[in-house]
Structure 1
Amino acid sequence: MKTKYLISSLASILAFSSASAAGLPPAVTGKAQEIIAMPDGGWLTLDKQGLRLLDTQGKERSKVSLRAKHLDARTHADGMLAVFTDADTQKTHAYVADQKTGQLRLQASMASPDFSLESMCLYRDAQQLDHVFLIGKEGLSEQWVMHNGSAHLVRKLALPPHSKHCRVDDQSQTLYLSVPDSGVWAFTAEAETAAKLKPVAMAAPFGKLHGGVTAISALPGGVAVLDASGKKLHFYRQKDGQYLLSEQIMNLPYSAANIHVNASGNKLDFLLQDEQAKTWRASSVAWKQPAASEIAVIEPTVQTDTVARHGDAADDPAIWVHPQDARLSRVLGTNKKQGLLVYDMQGKQTQLLESGRLNNVDVRQNIKWGQQSFDIAMATQRDENSLVLYVINDQGQVTEAARFPTKLDKIYGFCLYQPRTGGLEAFVNDKDGTYQQFRITHNEQGFSGSLVRSFKLASQPEGCVADDKTDRLFMGEEKRGIWVVSARADQPADLQMVMPVGKQLVADVEGLAIYFGQQKNYLLVSSQGDNSYLVLEAQAPYRLRGKFRVGMNLAKGIDGTSETDGLDVSAVNFGGEFAQGMLVVQDGYKRLPDGTQNFKYIPWFAIARAFKLE
């Protein structure tokens, strides 16, 4: 299918005559290599002498003098944020063009990178943080974020070499790159996602771009591409991860050298540089914008030390509460390439137990067997297809105490259950969907486990959480959704769907945890497919109360989270910002700067405030 959002008549779409350019004063359109319209009707222009702020008539109000190139801009509370590069030093500068004062005010600067700079562009994320992409000639590139007058390196990138232009569609979080020999490519602008490069518009013979690309401009939900001749303008719309070429290919009556587009409602306002006349021409075109996706962004306030293994290593956390002083509590986390990690409430690692390839971990406290009481942690060990049991003392020191073999072929997810009748039980699953329920006991000979129930889901599960107060077990089936079943071993495993995978819950379904509030209990779920988290009421009909992402906390130098495997939550008063409890999530990509994976702590009050939770 081809999109049909553009007006059918080319004559009515683009009237690039002298009349169409009449709204641009000659002083604006003359020698400017790049031009951007200001919200008040003024102009930002870039030429070989620098960046200029002009009024509506083209009169210069302010200027930054240097040999500049690569202008990009976003709206700002005072007018416009303009970012450009010093061609001599390769330093990139961000200035605020103040509409009221008519001044260009330095906002931040980025040092010259250790590579030859080929292009630069801006990106404004869902938190309204402004990022800068520095695109290197040989494919070495960087992403920076600006905050309070300074810039911070977010990540290093490998992008197509010799990318001549870059532009970002903020709404779809897509970075577009033009490469002379191959065409236009799309890359993930959001740092907290897996790096993915997709072809958009390929040069002939692989696509319809004859000779390559002259310039590009990001559109809401797509990209405009000016071909090598400068006389044909192609429009591509993003849909379901694919790029569809519009039926319209705009044939220009002149050769254009550059393009800037501003989206307004369901209209695009164009500025195209006439290469022969050395001027800029303006016009408009209809363009239906995709609906904006609104989702809350909540900041973490603590992050743990990073794990000692690269790649997909950190997986699942569990919270242990100190019996006398909750501020001395611990967070346990698995490193599936090494063992069990223990962190304090400030995120500092206090222990490493090299127990092998652990996947999921869970904790229960004050478990009584006879006259003895224990705080217990258990985890799945993937090399042995076994369960590892740990004892936690009153100071939060963790010690391995036992291992129980299972007959599972590919042991995977896990959670603990403390029946109201006492004791301790464990649910463990296999990648084939099999669930096994074990009863844990303790006597003079030590700990032991016995199988008391088995059942099976249709496909691969992982995360699960038991509601000890109501004897229910919530399970995540990665590709299908969330199920609930009786946790009691003497009851049949009658599965009931809580929420299927769909628009809100995006596969894979990963970590699950329950927040036990004073008035209501909430089920927290990692919706890994769109890097978000769902808050559902933990009682039928399991109403969805909110959906959020974890963003950057630049004040504390903490990056956001993505591709979260495991999570845990507690309603305990840990003091300070965690007085109402906290959520702990695994982070799939450590940024700001790049590093190995870790865990992030999020205050519960921020989640409760965002969704007006009881």
Structure 2
Amino acid sequence: MKRSYLYLLMAAITCGQALAADLALSPWAPALDAQAVAFLPNGSERLAASSRDGLLLLDAKGAELARFKGHFSSLDSRAAGPQVLVASLDDDRQQALLVSLDPQRRQWGQPLYLPARDFPVNGLCLYRDEASNLFLFLVGEEGKGEQWLVGAGAQLNATAQRVRGVPLPPAAQFCQVDDGANRLLVNEENVGWWAYPAHPEAQVERQPVALRVPFGDIDKAAGAMALVPGGVLALDPKAARLHLYQQDEHQQPTQGWSAKATLALPGLKEPEGLAVRASGNGLQVLLRDDDDGRLYQGQLDWQAAPVPLAPVLPNVPALAQSEPVGRQGDAADDPAIWIHPRQPALSRVLGTNKKQGLLAYDLQGKLLQELLVGRLNNVDVRPNFRLGTQVVDLAVASNRDRNSLSLFSIDRASGELREAGEIPTPLKEIYGICLFQPASGELYAFANGKDGSFLQYRLRAPDGRVQGELVRQFKVDSQPEGCVADDQRQRLFLGEEDVGVWAVDARADQPAALSSVIKVGPQLHADVEGLALYQSEAHDYLVISSQGNDSYVVLDAEPPFASRGAFRVGLNAAAGIDGASETDGLEVTSANLGGPWSRGLLVVQDGRKRMPEQTQNFKFVPWSDVAGALKLP
């Protein structure tokens, strides 16, 4: 690039204004027949996918170093230690494949083929998440897209696993993933470029990067893209122009992008492929002109300031999961753990289905019982409740059909649940519930409504019929849901979804003075949902569902409620269990339930069931793994 162009381009980037300039290009490897090209992740070599010559490893001058025979199109790669993992489309088999490449030995490995799809695949791109899981996105015709799990760390898996379908634009052909930002970029030829969350547990949504005139600055078409530090270089093939876009470091991922420069491509009639690599002198650019089939290279003297990334939270995989619930949509909500008094391995996980009723699972996630009693939202459990002449364990759930408390007795020998009565409430929209059982043995239920009201009931059943006596009521300013009582310290923790977590005296004869535990902010993201207490002889922790960023925050359960960190429930590739996201309720116990649950069990609701895509369920996580990830004593 001429110095005048460099100066003007840098000035445009500095002041945030788009500016047209030219990018000087020269022919590169003129005899090479390549549908797609890419720079090797590490080193000076390049990769090419050719419908005539196969997959090629090339030196900086275009000389062939190694060949994987076949007929290929589309190309992406990721470093894997000293090797490179290469993804492409096999035109003969009409299947996507991955194959390892050893650049030093100039050897290709054995390919891993994805199953043939029932739609034409136009393009593909790789993505490595913060836990080093490797995924492949397929971009198909008529808006069909898919995400597949294909590897972990530096290794390809023995088989590929479909994670989820991704609805994409109907005219998409190209994609790229920014691993650090967990962002998938896809083109829509006649509309523009779009950004999607790439993480498999993320909600499916899109934001425009840039659009065609009159809504944006794209003259004619949105084509191939290449990631650059802090942004993306995107090709308008019909106008023979490159556009440089950046996202301001102060903007959120859902906010717009800024156009930084527009570069003309003189001499190119039908530019198609695009590859970019950052170098010490700026950006190296490779382009293919479909008019003459030749490759061209150029140098863009541009340096970007590094964009700060969100902190990476540790991932803790689930070891088991429940069978999916029997209703579609937002159905599963809140779990509770019933501990068998003599045989802990026979303990059960209860879960609400707010379109169905109460469900009971064993510790492997098998459904044992379902009680179709209505739209239950939250549930909690306490032992040793006197039901007439019997002593049972009791589960209580908020029933949204009747704005009531639904009660269930649990047989202490078999774990079988039975309906045990109902307590009406004056709440107009009942929501959350939790139980409180002080040392005196009395049992209380806290129920809340969407208007912020909390009602405290004393539960008794002297003649075998459960009765609820309203003993206290108080209110928070906005919508609550999750709550949990510390029976030992007689303290109630409650979540106000958009505000944070509060503590209040749980005793019925005490004032309901709220004190802040943690506010919504950098660590805790609204909505604040499930709350649970891990209580052991050594330490007590409060676990909070931070739904806004699909994570779980752990605090000391005593003032000053110091933070112990946050984590996510990530994908378990070996067990074929997806991660957890959009979690509503959760529960935890420190009881030794045997096997992997010897230090306790954490159960979280999963709002987006992947791999395969099914109705919602609950994920079971060993507490020992949480403690290890957060270095808890």
Asked if Structure 1 and Structure 2 have the same fold, meaning a TM-score greater than 0.5 normalized by the shorter chain, the answer is yes
1:450 maps to a residue whose letter is: E
Alignment-derived partner of residue 485 in structure 1: 504
The answer to whether the 8 A contact 1:217-1:259 is kept is yes
* Cα separation, partners in 2 of 1:485 and 1:152, compared to 1, 3 Å: same
1:72 counterpart = 2:64: no
Alignment-derived partner of residue 105 in structure 1: 109
1:81 counterpart = 2:85: yes
Deviation of the 1:28 alpha carbon? 8.5
Candidates 177, 181, 196, aligned match of 1:187: 196
The answer to whether the 8 A contact 2:23-2:263 is kept is no
Deviation of the 1:157 alpha carbon? 2.7
- Name the stretch that deviates more: 174-183 or 467-476: 174-183
* Cα separation, partners in 2 of 1:415 and 1:251, compared to 1, 3 Å: same
Alignment-derived partner of residue 218 in structure 1: 227
Candidates 51, 56, 60, aligned match of 1:52: 56
The answer to whether the 8 A contact 1:221-1:289 is kept is yes
Q: Provide, for residues 386-413 of structure 1, a one-character-per-residue CA deviation record: whole Å limited to 9, x for no partner.
A: 0011111121111110100000000001
The answer to whether the 8 A contact 1:552-1:560 is kept is yes
For 1:251-400, what aligned pairs fall within 5 Å after superposition? 251-255=264-268, 256-262=271-277, 268-273=283-288, 278-284=294-300, 285-292=302-309, 293-367=311-385, 372-394=390-412, 395-400=414-419
Percent identical across equivalent pairs? 43
- 1:35 match: secondary structure: strand
In structure 1, distance between residues paired with 2:495 and 2:125: 40
Alignment-derived partner of residue 501 in structure 1: 520
Deviation of the 1:287 alpha carbon? 1.9
The answer to whether the 8 A contact 1:34-1:258 is kept is yes
Candidates 10, 18, 38, aligned match of 1:36: 38
1:383 maps to a residue whose letter is: D
The answer to whether the 8 A contact 2:23-2:265 is kept is no
The answer to whether the 8 A contact 1:273-1:279 is kept is yes
1:443 maps to a residue whose letter is: P
Deviation of the 1:47 alpha carbon? 1.8
1:16 counterpart = 2:32: no
Deviation of the 1:544 alpha carbon? 1.1
1:403 counterpart = 2:422: yes
In structure 2, distance between residues paired with 1:249 and 1:542: 52
1:589 counterpart = 2:599: no
Alignment-derived partner of residue 4 in structure 2: none
Alignment-derived partner of residue 154 in structure 1: 163
* Cα separation, partners in 2 of 1:515 and 1:116, compared to 1, 3 Å: same
The answer to whether the 8 A contact 1:6-1:286 is kept is no
The answer to whether the 8 A contact 2:125-2:136 is kept is yes
In structure 2, distance between residues paired with 1:466 and 1:219: 50
* Cα separation, partners in 2 of 1:33 and 1:571, compared to 1, 3 Å: same
Structure 2 residues without counterparts, runs of 5 or longer = 1-9, 152-156
The answer to whether the 8 A contact 2:459-2:468 is kept is yes
Deviation of the 1:276 alpha carbon? 6.8
Alignment-derived partner of residue 128 in structure 1: 132
The answer to whether the 8 A contact 1:28-1:45 is kept is no
The answer to whether the 8 A contact 1:483-1:497 is kept is yes
The answer to whether the 8 A contact 1:169-1:219 is kept is no
Deviation of the 1:231 alpha carbon? 2.3
The answer to whether the 8 A contact 1:511-1:525 is kept is yes
* Cα separation, partners in 2 of 1:30 and 1:452, compared to 1, 3 Å: same
Deviation of the 1:42 alpha carbon? 2.0
1:143 counterpart = 2:143: no
The answer to whether the 8 A contact 2:29-2:295 is kept is no
Structure 1 residues without counterparts, runs of 5 or longer = none
1:270 maps to a residue whose letter is: V
- 1:106 match: secondary structure: coil
- Aligned length in residues: 606
Deviation of the 1:607 alpha carbon? 0.7
* Cα separation, partners in 2 of 1:263 and 1:375, compared to 1, 3 Å: farther
In structure 2, distance between residues paired with 1:453 and 1:280: 77
In structure 2, distance between residues paired with 1:334 and 1:220: 46
In structure 2, distance between residues paired with 1:499 and 1:37: 47
Give the TM-score normalised by the residue count of structure 2: 0.91
Alignment-derived partner of residue 91 in structure 1: 95
* Cα separation, partners in 2 of 1:406 and 1:540, compared to 1, 3 Å: same
In structure 2, distance between residues paired with 1:331 and 1:263: 52
Deviation of the 1:273 alpha carbon? 3.6
In structure 2, distance between residues paired with 1:522 and 1:382: 30
Q: Provide, for residues 340-385 of structure 1, a one-character-per-residue CA deviation record: whole Å limited to 9, x for no partner.
A: 0000011000000011000000011123579753211000000100
The answer to whether the 8 A contact 2:388-2:464 is kept is no
The answer to whether the 8 A contact 1:169-1:221 is kept is no
- 1:443 match: secondary structure: coil
In structure 2, distance between residues paired with 1:465 and 1:379: 13
Candidates 522, 527, 547, aligned match of 1:528: 547
In structure 2, distance between residues paired with 1:581 and 1:55: 55
Deviation of the 1:543 alpha carbon? 1.1
Deviation of the 1:510 alpha carbon? 0.3
In structure 2, distance between residues paired with 1:42 and 1:191: 31
1:361 maps to a residue whose letter is: V
In structure 1, distance between residues paired with 2:230 and 2:531: 33
- 1:479 match: secondary structure: coil
1:568 maps to a residue whose letter is: E
Deviation of the 1:262 alpha carbon? 3.4
Deviation of the 1:606 alpha carbon? 0.6
- 1:158 match: secondary structure: coil
1:156 maps to a residue whose letter is: G
Deviation of the 1:14 alpha carbon? 7.8
- 1:577 match: secondary structure: helix
The answer to whether the 8 A contact 2:450-2:478 is kept is yes
In structure 2, distance between residues paired with 1:316 and 1:157: 27
Deviation of the 1:219 alpha carbon? 4.2
Candidates 558, 565, 579, aligned match of 2:584: 565
1:468 counterpart = 2:487: yes
Q: Provide, for residues 151-195 of structure 1, a one-character-per-residue CA deviation record: whole Å limited to 9, x for no partner.
A: 001112322112121111222222211112111122222221221
Deviation of the 1:444 alpha carbon? 1.6
The answer to whether the 8 A contact 1:171-1:221 is kept is no
- Name the stretch that deviates more: 142-151 or 431-440: 142-151
- 2:596 match: secondary structure: helix
Say what the alpha-carbon RMSD is for the aligned residues.
2.4
Alignment-derived partner of residue 556 in structure 2: 537
- 1:213 match: secondary structure: coil
In structure 1, distance between residues paired with 2:579 and 2:245: 33
Deviation of the 1:13 alpha carbon? 9.8
- 2:113 match: secondary structure: strand
- 2:521 match: secondary structure: coil
In structure 2, distance between residues paired with 1:419 and 1:65: 73
* Cα separation, partners in 2 of 1:265 and 1:412, compared to 1, 3 Å: farther
